[in-house]
Amino acid sequence: MEDQEFNPLLHLQGLPLFSHVKPEHVYPAVKSAVDHSIQVIKTVVAAHEADPTWDNVIAPIEEADDKLSKIWSVVSHLNGVCNTEELREAHDKCLPLMAEYSTFVGQYKPLCEVIKKLKRTDAFSLLTDAQKKSIDNSLRDFHLSGIDLPDDKQKRYAEISAELAQLQSTFSNNVLDATKGYYLHIKDRSEVTGLPHAQLVQAESEAKKRNLDGLVFTLDIPSYLPFLTYVENRDLRQQLYIAYVTRASDQGPNAHKWDNQSTIDSILRLRHELAHLLGFASYAHLSLATKMAKDPEEVIAFLEDLAHKSKPQGLREMQELRDYAAAQGLEGEMQPWDVAFYSQKLCKEKYAYDPQELRPYFGVSKVVSGLFTCAERLYNVSFRPRFGVDVWHPDVRCYDIYDRFSSKIGTFYIDLYAREGKRGGAWMDECQSRRYRSDGSLQLPVAYLVCNFTAPINGKESLLTHEEVVTLFHEFGHGLNQLLTRIDIADVSGINGVPWDAVELPSQFNENFAWQEEVLNFLSCHEKTQQPLPKEKLESLIKAKNYESAMAMLRQLEFALFDFRLHLEYDPEKGSRVYEILKQVKDLVAVTPQYELSRFPDSFTHIFAGGYAAGYYSYKWAEVLAADAFGRFLEDGIFDEKAGAAFRDCILAVGGASDPMKGFVAFRGRKPSVDALLKQSGISIEPAAAE
Ligand code: ZN
């Protein structure tokens, strides 16, 4: 029996004892760690105001923070993978504590002053690059939290921040209410011919929820998208489409009810004022202060270059779709609510392929061992399962990773299967950072890798779709970034401190291997024939992936350019100019038919309620880096030893400790180019080279 008093969260030496953590341990552990961190900060700042060094100020704070982040990692991880009502309650009870702590750190002026002083000492130049970067990041974040402003401006900063938080929440509530506030009621099934059975069942249960007969369709994506994709009745598609693109606006079936236009105007005005207070020319400039892209010109040029090169093929894809629709008997011009419907039909005709059909090739154990083989060959490491480790569920596997001298460099957990109480999706998260402890010993990085694949049934191994295999490679790419780090300062080691627009580089890069014939030879094995995936199946898989890729690319570029220019060009004299800028962007990039009264900005939550403001471009930015980095392996060989070592040294190992552009240039010998991504997506730049 374990001691009644024992709280495993307060004794996190080595790997956590997940199965011993109980909801009642959570709050006391988090509270004591937060109190401890605050106490340490106050104490060291008071004691070393005059003689700050890394060892007497930063190291003790890092040690205290490490304790807190390890506890919080276990708590939020368990909350995600074995959720119970009690655990969620305990987790949620700590959220205000965590928020208060981060506000305290961000606003504690004496700490900022001491770190500034430390930066001015002679000793600063003797610190390692990672230590310097960690200090610079702290000072940058202090500055961005308004701590350097004179009192009156600091007050205004706080007012704006509070108001913005309120407005963003209003924006997102309006979108939620508008999404919920509409449904399409269909009495007769024959009106929605074409819809797959699963969606009919779903629509029936939506109707029952509302005490209605027949079917109900909503503006939630799982209901809306299949409707637009499969329902043959054009008028009904139009009806649902218009309801969707006019959510929370002055148009459509619920016009003016939850209109976000004035919220957008206020958000843009306040963001601009906030950026000005901090000394930036625009909110776009402020956004880039923490990102890899250097300046707005670089971002705009990047997006326009991609748009310019993708547009000819986008136009061809659209023409092909128009021709196809006309041949299918579509009357008049193609409309926005026709695009998904005919795209799906044409795709099915051109590349008849069923994702389920490839499952027999991808048994889980073969895939996981193939995944490891790739990393072993690329980075000269090896993996060994670790037994007898305490885990949160019997399905979880634990592995140690070793370098070429057989020294252990990290540990990770893999939790592959969906089950009750587990959050959906796939993700990688940090359990522990690589860092030196105060006693001089090295703490190795530990990571969680979580997926939601179908669990084995009756002892029969799980078989994955190729899409799931790609997901696993993606998350493992994040994992390698965490595990192969050589940085020993917690807040810039592994994935910590990596700029937002660079963090998806290792993950998207790693996806590429799941598309290579050479890899599929050892990654796949048919459960009956024992044969790897045939070449022609891989080829049609790639073709299906790249179907209408230029149209998809242009759509993302439209969002990214609109978001960025909106924040860059804001002028208090002229107001927000939302539809003027949107029209200019559409003129440049859009190839699909447009609905004149569409109000998509009114529901663009990524940028008005999420963290993507003047940052939506990050998706494409990271994709370009990943594709271009992988280009070197296509040139030198998929498992070229030198390329693997260089990728590890320049990208994976350095974490957030140095400028990712420098790392990229060191690896590739030049700055990134968009051409590799275009090629990978099957977008040909030469109009003449059209298929
Ligand atoms: Zn990712």
Q: Tell me, what's the pLDDT at 13?
A: 86
The question of whether 468 is a catalytic residue gets the answer no
Does the pLDDT value for residue 238 go beyond 90? yes
Is residue 508 helix, strand or coil? helix
CA of 129 to the centre of ligand 1 (A): 27
Q: Which of 491, 480, 452, 504 is nearest to 612 (CA)?
A: 504
Which is it for the CA torsion 649, 650, 651, 657, positive or negative?
A: positive
- Assign 352 a pLDDT band (cuts: 50, 70, 90): confident
Dihedral (Cα; 9, 14, 20, 26), 10-degree rounding: 20
Does the pLDDT value for residue 691 go beyond 50? no
CA 43 to chain centre: 37
Q: Exposed (0-12), middle (13-18) or buried (19+): which is 643, by Cβ within 10 Å?
A: buried
399: left (phi over 0), alpha (psi -120 to 50) or beta: beta
Q: Which of 87, 88, 92, 79 is nearest to 423 (CA)?
A: 79
- Assign 454 a pLDDT band (cuts: 50, 70, 90): confident
Residue 381 identity: V
Q: What is the DSSP string of 220-273?
A: SHHHHHHHHHH---HHHHHHHHHHHHTTTSSSSTTTTTS--HHHHHHHHHHHHH
Query: Average of pLDDT values for 410-420?
Result: 96
Dihedral (Cα; 197, 201, 207, 208), 10-degree rounding: 160
Q: Tell me, what's the pLDDT at 689?
A: 41
Which is it for the CA torsion 2, 6, 11, 17, positive or negative?
A: positive
Q: Which of 309, 221, 396 is nearest to 676 (CA)?
A: 309
Query: Average of pLDDT values for 605-630?
Result: 95
Residues in the chain: 691
How far apart (Å, rounded) are the C-alpha atoms in residues 25 and 105? 25
- Assign 356 a pLDDT band (cuts: 50, 70, 90): confident
Residue ranges of alpha helices (H) inside 328-436 are 339-350, 364-379
Q: Tell me, what's the pLDDT at 135?
A: 97
Active-site annotation holder among 430, 475, 504, 623: 475
How far apart (Å, rounded) are the C-alpha atoms in residues 206 and 204? 5
What is the DSSP code (8-state) at residue 336?
G
Does the pLDDT value for residue 690 go beyond 50? no
CA of 622 to the centre of ligand 1 (A): 10
What is the DSSP code (8-state) at residue 571?
B
Question: For the segment 83-133, what is each residue's pLDDT rounded down to a tens digit?
Answer: 999 999 999 999 999 989 998 998 899 999 999 999 999 999 999 999 999
Does the pLDDT value for residue 153 go beyond 80? yes
Q: Tell me, what's the pLDDT at 2?
A: 46
Q: Tell me, what's the pLDDT at 686?
A: 66
φ, ψ at 183 (rounded to 5°): -150, 155
CA 674 to chain centre: 20
Average pLDDT, the chain: 95
CA of 612 to the centre of ligand 1 (A): 15
Query: Average of pLDDT values for 13-31?
Result: 95
Question: For the segment 580-609, what is each residue's pLDDT rounded down to a tens digit?
Answer: 999 999 999 999 999 999 999 999 999 999
How far apart (Å, rounded) are the C-alpha atoms in residues 380 and 217? 53
How far apart (Å, rounded) are the C-alpha atoms in residues 522 and 532? 7
Q: Tell me, what's the pLDDT at 610?
A: 83
Does the pLDDT value for residue 561 go beyond 50? yes
CA of 508 to the centre of ligand 1 (A): 7
Give the list of residues 6+ apart from residue 261 with CB closer than 8 angstroms, or none: 249, 250, 578, 602
What is the DSSP code (8-state) at residue 494?
T
Residue 158 CB: number of other CB atoms within 10 A? 14
Mode of pairing for the β-strands spanning 215-218 and 183-186: antiparallel
Q: Tell me, what's the pLDDT at 357?
A: 87
Query: Average of pLDDT values for 605-633?
Result: 95
Does the pLDDT value for residue 3 go beyond 60? no
CA of 97 to the centre of ligand 1 (A): 28
Question: For the segment 184-194, what is each residue's pLDDT rounded down to a tens digit?
Answer: 999 999 999 99
- Assign 459 a pLDDT band (cuts: 50, 70, 90): confident
Q: Tell me, what's the pLDDT at 354?
A: 76
Q: In which residue are the tokens 């893999």 written?
A: 414
Q: Tell me, what's the pLDDT at 687?
A: 54
CA of 625 to the centre of ligand 1 (A): 14
- Assign 5 a pLDDT band (cuts: 50, 70, 90): confident
Query: Average of pLDDT values for 213-232?
Result: 95
Q: Which of 115, 97, 94, 104 is nearest to 145 (CA)?
A: 104
Does the pLDDT value for residue 688 go beyond 50? no
How far apart (Å, rounded) are the C-alpha atoms in residues 91 and 95? 7
% of the chain exceeding 90 in pLDDT: 92
Query: Average of pLDDT values for 229-258?
Result: 97
Is residue 489 helix, strand or coil? coil
